[in-house]
Amino acid sequence: MKKIINVVIPLFFILMGIGCLTLSSTVFHSHNALHELFESFIGICIFLAVSVALGVLYIWVNKKKNQN
């Protein structure tokens, strides 16, 4: 139960954050708002994923180094 809360709360925060960023990056586009919304959502997610991937890569490399 506690484990689930520990995952759900941060995930909730992250999703909220992505939501805020998506909204504010779309708000000044008045044409084709839905498309823009989608596009900026994907863009933000990609940027996040790249940074997270960098972190994961670092941890992974460290683990590999430790095993040798």
Partner 1 sequence: MKFNSITVKLGVTIMVLFLVVLFPLVYTIDQMFTAFYINQKQEQLENFASKYSTTITSVEDVNSYHMFEMLSELMDTELFVFNMDGEILKSTGVLNFTEGTNVTKEIYNPIAQNGTLGIEYKAASESHDFFLSGKPIMVNGKVGGGLVIVSSMEDVDESIEQVRLWLLISVIGALFIAIGFTFFVSKKLSNPLLQMEQATREIAKGKLKTKLMIPTKDEVGSLATAITDLGRELEEYRTNRREFFANISHELRTPISYIKGYSEVLTNGLVSNEEERNQYLTIITEEAKRLTTLINDLFELAKMEEGKIDLNYEWLDIGDALNSSAKKVSLKAAEKKIEVRLNTASDYPLLYTDGVRLEQIIINLIENAIRYSPPESRVEIYTKTHKQRVEVFIQDFGMGIPEEDAPFIFERFYRVEKSRSRASGGTGLGLAIVKNLVQLLGGEIKFESTQGKGTLFKIAFPTNQKVSEDK
Interface residue with partner 1, options 31, 34, 50, 66 (CB under 8 A)? 66
What's the closest the beta carbon of residue 35 comes to partner 1, in angstroms? Answer: 19
What's the closest the beta carbon of residue 4 comes to partner 1, in angstroms? Answer: 13
Residues 17-56 as x/- pattern, contact with partner 1 by CB under 8 A? xxxxx-xxx-xx-------------------x---x----
Sequential DSSP letters for 2-59: HHHHHHHHHHHHHHHHHHHHHHHHHTT--SSHHHHHHHHHHHHHHHHHHHHHHHHHHH
Amino acid at site 39: E
